[in-house]
Amino acid sequence: MAIGHYLKEIGRGKEGARALSQSQATDMFGQILDGAVTDLEIGAFCIAMRIKGETPEEMCGFLEATQQRLRPIQIFPTATTQAAVVLPSYNGARKLPVLTPLLALLLAREGLAVVIHGTATEDKRVFTSEVLAALGIAAQSSMLPARPGQVTFYPTALLLPGLQRLLDVRRVVNLRNPAHSLVKLLQPCAGPQVLVTSYTHPEYAESMQQVLCRMQATALLIRGTEGEAVADPRRLPKMRCILQGQLDTELEHQAGALTSLPDLPPCDAPSTAGYIQAVLDGAAPVPLPIALQVAQIVRLAGLAEVARVPE
């Protein structure tokens, strides 16, 4: 098969391009993930979608194709298994320390199974995987189950090699493609899960919320810190809590001038890991925005667990 007939629809330019139906998007993206198309077709797809932009219906189709092929992450069974927490981590940090590992470890301390998936998408940023390694948490090399009370990092290539190949196209054409949005919306666990995800630009907030609601997801959607799904330690960002596809609560961002700033480390992995360990040991305070984010995620995890229990 080939995707030329789909490219003809999406590749007519910003004004002339036509959106695909969800089933068409599922078929096209499935062929791309399976490696059934040429590099030329993949390049055309990436450029066409970059110009056109993906609709929520198309993104749901891309997600459907991905979920059909993804190796699901199992959660180690316990007597009181709760919903897992999923943290996609693909942006890393350039200026502020990447504190996604701090968020993950604080959630694990609450007894939750915390799943991080991601890959390095650029060469000039510090990524979560580097900070985790400095904290002694190695990336998984096989699909072992995640355990409650622990943080487990799964490289994207382990979950779905075809998705990793599509993400790597960015290194060639220097432009993001739908895969970079899709990875932030994946629900990779086999059981109940709370997706903690983020947007980088305000216009993405509404489209991501639409997709999360269509997917009947339980999720926390925030304005990312350099693209990472962790609250800015200096100022509380807007948070949208979604429970099984319905907007549950909305926390407004902190406005006005800041009266004080937390004492943050340099952006490099060893310094960030040292700071995180100090916070976990009680030698440094948990930044208030991150503490509030933890509380909301724990609340959503409890609600997700209650919602799945039959009456």
pLDDT 10s digits, 149-160: 999 999 999 999
Domain boundary among 69, 95, 123: 69
Among 71-85, 143-157, 231-245, 288-302, name the one with the lowest average pLDDT. Answer: 71-85
State which residues form the domain around 177.
84-308
Does 267 lie in the same domain as 160?
Answer: yes
172 in any annotated domain: yes
Does 289 lie in the same domain as 167?
Answer: yes
Does 170 lie in the same domain as 49?
Answer: no
Does 283 lie in the same domain as 182?
Answer: yes
pLDDT in tens, 234-288: 888 889 999 999 998 887 766 555 556 678 999 999 999 999 999 999 999 999 9
Q: Is 195 in contact with 208 (CB distance < 8 Å)?
A: no
Does 263 lie in the same domain as 236?
Answer: yes
Q: Which residues, other chains included, contact 291 with Cβ-Cβ below 8 Å and sequence gap of 6+?
A: 106
Q: How many domains, the chain?
A: 2
What CATH number is attached to the domain comprising 15?
Answer: 1.20.970.10
Does 11 lie in the same domain as 88?
Answer: no
79 in any annotated domain: no
pLDDT at 308: 55
Does 229 lie in the same domain as 203?
Answer: yes
pLDDT in tens, 200-245: 888 889 999 999 999 999 999 999 999 999 999 988 888 999 999 9
Which spans in the chain are helix H?
4-10, 13-16, 22-33, 39-52, 56-69, 100-109, 128-134, 156-159, 161-168, 170-173, 178-182, 202-214, 269-280, 288-308
pLDDT in tens, 101-140: 999 999 999 999 999 999 988 778 999 999 999 999 999 9
pLDDT at 306: 58
Q: How far is CA 5 from CA 33, 49, 82, in A?
A: 17, 14, 45
Does 246 lie in the same domain as 155?
Answer: yes
226 in any annotated domain: yes
Does 154 lie in the same domain as 10?
Answer: no
What CATH number is attached to the domain comprising 255?
Answer: 3.40.1030.10
262 in any annotated domain: yes
Does 89 lie in the same domain as 30?
Answer: no
